[in-house]
Structure 1
Amino acid sequence: MSYQPIIQKSIKYIENNLHEDLSLESVAQFAGFSRYHFHRVFQKETGVTISEYVRYRRIANSASMLINTDEKIIDIAFYYHFETQESFSRSFKKYYKLPPGQYRKIMGQLMFQREETVLKNEQRLKGWLLSGSHPANYRMGIDRKIFHKGKGSGFLKSSTVQSNDEFATMMQQFKANKYLGKRIKLSGFLKSQSIEGYCGFWLRVDNTIGDVLQFDNMSDRPITGSTEWNHYYIVLDVPQNSSLISFGVLLSGKGQVWVDEFKFEEVDKKTPTTNIDFTSNILDEPTNLSFEE
């Protein structure tokens, strides 16, 4: 059984109610599971418990409010259900190594960089390449105002795109040696805005001569329009003759997509793959050669 739709539905509920009273019981009830079963499922799918997820998302949103608004620290603390400003400061410092006030001051100063410096650094994102059919019509970079966890997220956005037939990807490639003969899972969090085509993660496994052995670009479960942060994943096998693994985020047409917390992990063979089988529509033999049907 795939729990991904249930987890995504639950995360959407959490994201929409971070300023409300959230508990394991309330989220499990929304999902239609017992608290103990849902606790196990959520942690297995996302790598964190529900309480930890709620805590770090509240802290991340608080960090964003600190640098993007003039709201008082105590008001931010109460908005995200911290009992006191002191308890909020302790939790905030745990994640950001700075108290809220100092974080606001330091990050606020960094935000006043000159726009040309920001634009110059956008296309130079460590480890990531901009590719696709029309990469010159897109921009990629780090967003310090919108993020799922930590201090920033990666983004890919259209700039001079003319149609939804154009696409770009923010991607990486690495050797397959470590994962030969294994089943791997690429997961992460994604947020979208005004996507006119579609966006999603993608993962591809190639052999030494460039043949595609396994591939998924979420074209059968596309993300469109505007969506809040949610969890997505791809699962593929890495055959013994694999040489290269490529992955990234794809944006087709106009819009903007943010990604955060990419993670690779090995999973067991009980976990279904999401590989797109391009041979499934190939006929076993020729048919209708006289065009009578």
Structure 2
Amino acid sequence: MYSQMIRQSVEFIETNIHEPLSLSILAKEAGFSKYHFHRIFQKEIGVSASEYIRYRRLANAVHMLLYTDEKIIDIAFYYHFESQESFTRSFKKYYQIPPGQYRKLMSKLTLQREEITMKDSQLLKGWNLSGSNPFHYEMAIDRKNVHKGKASGCLKAIQPSASQDFATMMQQFKADKYLNKRLKLTGFIKTKDVDISCGLWMRIDDRLGDVLQFDNMSNRPITGDTEWNHYSIVLDIPKNSAVIAFGVLLSGNGSVWVDGIRFEEVDEHTPTTNMDFTEELLDEPVNLSFEEWIEH
């Protein structure tokens, strides 16, 4: 029930990442007490708001280290670290080496890696490229647009795509460990020039390949240009489930980045997002003589 509010808070953080940010500011913006905001943010995102701000500032700092000539102390102050020493301590916690050494080691390596086009989906461990016309798309590792850590996954159209074209970078795994449980898929997504839609998706199949549960965010699509934000899907895993498939879907043209994907078991108080097509079924057949019509 708080997902939309948390997305608004994440958007506020991303927009003001180089401004002073505190729990009080975020809670006031969201219209909650500090304690209540802290609790729901951590439950939804998996880390506290302060920890989230810290690693997002560090990810932005990495971008400046690799793609600008700004001094380390200026980068530290720009992202509101108290000193270069405190910036270095935080940086080493996430990246294991000091920022200056990171800049020297990674700059040339990053540029070399960006020149590699990952057309072979087997190069991206664990992920497969699929869709209606996958040769119009490519998936790759991106070390420039990153939400946390050193890389994100990217899916983009490399040829003009028709409205019916789509592609997905996806994985699938056995459902055995999650039978009779409710599973929540979350991830951070960023988009550019998406003209139709994109989003996370998850599908639960039985051993015959029949779909038991499904959601592709078609009722809440992501379009256009968006900064990193948090999205989720919640599905039940029935006892006869065999396969859990998931990924990020891009319809039409544009680019989508995905990072920080995780799964967690949730209880019945977390509503599912399953697209129940059975609700559209009629109780019995109608208009079998073809003589009835809809009056306007």
TM-score, normalized by length of structure 2?
0.96
Tell me by how many angstroms 1:120 deviates: 4.5
Pair 139,20 (structure 1): closer, same or farther in 2 beyond 3 Å: same
CA distance in 1, matches of 2:18, 2:256: 24
1-structure distance, mates of 2:113, 2:273: 43
Structure 1, gaps ≥5 residues long = none
Question: How far apart are 1:64 and its partner, in Å?
Answer: 1.1
Determine the C-alpha separation between the residues in 2 that align with 1:53 and 1:207: 37
1:195-239 per-residue CA deviation (whole Å, 9 max, x = no partner) reads 001000000000000000000000000000000000001000000
The aligned counterpart of 1:108 is 107
- Residue 119 of structure 1 corresponds to 117
Read off the aligned partner of 1:42 and give its amino acid letter: F
The whole-number CA distance in structure 2 between the counterparts of 1:157 and 1:206 is: 27
- Aligned residue for 2:239, secondary structure, equals coil
Mapped pair 1:281 → 2:276: no
- Does the 8 Å CA contact 1:158/1:255 hold for their aligned counterparts? yes
Q: 2:184 corresponds to which residue? A: 185
Q: CA–CA distance in 1 between the matches of 2:187 and 2:79? A: 24
Q: In structure 2, what is the equivalent of residue 231 of structure 1?
A: 230
Look up the equivalent residue of 1:87 and give its one-letter code: S
8 A Cα contact 2:234 2:274, kept in partner: yes
Following superposition of structure 1 onto structure 2, how do residues 1-293 of structure 1 map, counting pairs within 5 Å?
Answer: 2-113=1-112, 118-120=116-118, 123=121, 124-289=123-288, 290-293=291-294
How far apart are 1:270 and its partner, in Å?
1.2
Contact 2:119 2:138 in 1 (8 A): no
What is the number of residues matched between the two proteins? Answer: 291
Does the CA-based 8 Å contact 2:200-2:217 persist in structure 1?
yes
In structure 1, the residue corresponding to 2:80 is in which secondary structure? coil
Q: 1:203 to 1:114 in 2, by over 3 A?
A: closer
**Cα offset for 1:12?**
0.1
SS at match of 2:182: strand
Are residues 120 and 5 of structure 1, via their aligned partners in 2, closer, same or farther at CA, if it must alter by over 3 Å?
Answer: closer
**Quick check: 2:118–2:138 contact (8 Å CA) kept in 1?**
no
- Letter of the 2:93 partner, please give it: K
Distance 1:93 1:115, change over 3 A: closer
1:122 positional shift: 6.0
Unpaired segments ≥5 residues, structure 2: none
Which shifted more, 120-129 or 68-77?
120-129
Structure 2: how far apart are the matches of 1:62 and 1:122? 31
Residue 115 (structure 1) shift: 6.1
Q: How many angstroms apart in 2 are the aligned matches of 1:167 and 1:292?
A: 35
Change (3 A) 1:245 1:52: same
The code of the aligned residue for 1:130 comes to L
- The 3-state SS of whatever aligns with 2:73 is helix
- Checking the alignment, whether the CA contact within 8 Å between 1:20 and 1:81 is kept in structure 2 is yes
Q: Read off the aligned partner of 2:187 and give its amino acid letter.
A: G
SS across alignment from 2:277: coil
CA drift at 1:68: 1.2
- Is the Cα contact below 8 Å between 1:122 and 1:142 reproduced in 2? no
Change (3 A) 1:96 1:272: same
Contact 2:118/2:140 (CA < 8 Å) preserved in 1?
no
Displacement over 2 Å in runs of 4+: 120-123, 286-290
Q: How many Å separate the matches in 2 of 1:210 and 1:187?
A: 24
Partners of 1:158 and 1:253 within 8 A in 2: yes
For residue 161 of structure 1, report the CA deviation from its aligned partner.
3.1
Contact 1:190 1:259 in 2 (8 A): yes
Instruction: Find the aligned partners of 1:132 and 1:58 in 2 and give their Cα distance.
Output: 35
Distance in 2 of aligned mates of 1:144 and 1:292: 57
CA RMSD of aligned residues (A): 1.2
Q: Give the drift of 1:162.
A: 2.6
Deviation at 1:86, TM superposition (A): 1.1
- Partner letter of residue 51 of structure 1? S
